[in-house]
Structure 1
């Protein structure tokens, strides 16, 4: 596995890739690994993240490598990728969508275990009534990501740039 770190408006992001694709994105600098300059999929991920934070990219196009997680977690992670840019779903809505309407708390656990934050957008999952709860990068980062996407989506919907 190769690691790289990139700067972002929400602080440093640690990226990991294996031979199959991007396999990790963590907030902050992971201390137990050795970092190298971005190359291959890590370079593409760094470029796409830069475009995302600039409001120029709404859909990531990266090979992903997810080799862990229960069947339920994988279903939740997949569901995250179907939530449109600039929109949110509640933990309960995601639980119902993956076939277990009573599993809202388990959706929260799956969000916490999401190995590829931002790219697999766990920040788009919110509490009942749109309440911001739980986020591995901290609630200010979650608010930033939702505000970024909401602003870009609004400008695009109304013909702005």
Structure 2
């Protein structure tokens, strides 16, 4: 995979044509299905909008690291689904501490865990998958941040929305900067594709895994889209 860091041009990404419908979908608590394949309820599986951040001692989180074309990822899953994907620049130990505090203190390192997720990620990096079909648990995000993360799943493969377009989609058109913060705190990148959110001038903006990784992901999707035509 290329590590290109070139700019994406100066064309301003246009807001999606169905912002009102998307905003209504998120407001009603309907799970976004644009990025989750045939599992429309997957994004909210096991999660509650009224989650109180009290750790569930009955839930066991299994985690592992995996080498990928964009660096070593931390994958954390439970019977509820995917809780976290940690990118290469993230402090993985801190992420595990956060999971132990807010989701469950029962953390088990298991190199056999997250097999389905890893297989789908491998397919994505190979250009063979454009949508993920795995259950996810968004217990780590709440309020406005939760709405932003849910909106990310509506951004189609190969497309780019501006931070302002996402802000409009969640009903706060002036909150582009807050959208950037929420994207930076997205606990499940790639599946909830915050890399598809760029600045209004077309430049890619920041990314937790590094701007070179963001550029590489966008390039991968653009090439795959061209090949499919």
Q: Name the SS for the 1:22 alignment partner.
A: strand
Tell whether 2:96 aligns with 1:22. no
Q: Name the SS for the 2:192 alignment partner.
A: coil
Instruction: Show the counterpart of 1:37.
Output: 111
Q: How many residues are treated as equivalent by the alignment?
A: 155
Instruction: Show the counterpart of 1:101.
Output: 173
Instruction: Show the counterpart of 1:80.
Output: 152
1:75 Cα deviation from its structure 2 partner:
1.1
Q: What is the correspondence of 1:139-154 to structure 2 with a 5 Å cutoff?
A: 139-154=211-226
> Can you give the 5+ residue segments of structure 1 that lack an aligned partner in the other structure?
none
Instruction: Show the counterpart of 1:92.
Output: 164
1:35 Cα deviation from its structure 2 partner:
3.3
Instruction: Show the counterpart of 2:70.
Output: 10
Instruction: Tell which structure's C-alpha radius of gyration is larger.
Output: 2
Q: In structure 1, how many angstroms separate the alpha carbons of the residues matched to 2:86 and 2:195?
A: 13
1:31 Cα deviation from its structure 2 partner:
3.8
1:154 Cα deviation from its structure 2 partner:
1.3
Q: In structure 2, how many angstroms separate the alpha carbons of the residues matched to 1:144 and 1:105?
A: 23
Of stretches 20-29 and 82-91 in structure 1, the one that deviates more from structure 2 is 20-29
Which stretches of structure 1, 4 residues or more, deviate above 3 A after TM superposition?
Answer: 31-35
1:70 Cα deviation from its structure 2 partner:
2.6
> Can you give the 5+ residue segments of structure 2 that lack an aligned partner in the other structure?
1-60, 97-107
Q: In structure 1, how many angstroms separate the alpha carbons of the residues matched to 2:112 and 2:225?
A: 29
Instruction: Show the counterpart of 1:134.
Output: 206
Give the alignment partner of residue 120 of structure 2, picking from 12, 24, 48. 48
Q: In structure 2, how many angstroms separate the alpha carbons of the residues matched to 1:133 and 1:35?
A: 33
Q: In structure 2, how many angstroms separate the alpha carbons of the residues matched to 1:120 and 1:2?
A: 20
> Which TM-score applies when normalising by structure 2?
0.65
Task: Output the aligned Cα RMSD.
Answer: 1.4
> Which TM-score applies when normalising by structure 1?
0.91
Could you report, residue by residue, the CA deviation over 1:22-73 in whole angstroms, capped at 9, with x for unpaired residues? Answer: 010011272465632133xx10000000000000000000000111323211
Q: In structure 1, how many angstroms separate the alpha carbons of the residues matched to 2:164 and 2:131?
A: 24
| Matched-pair contact (CA < 8 Å) for 1:15–1:26 | yes
Structure number having the greater helix percentage: 1
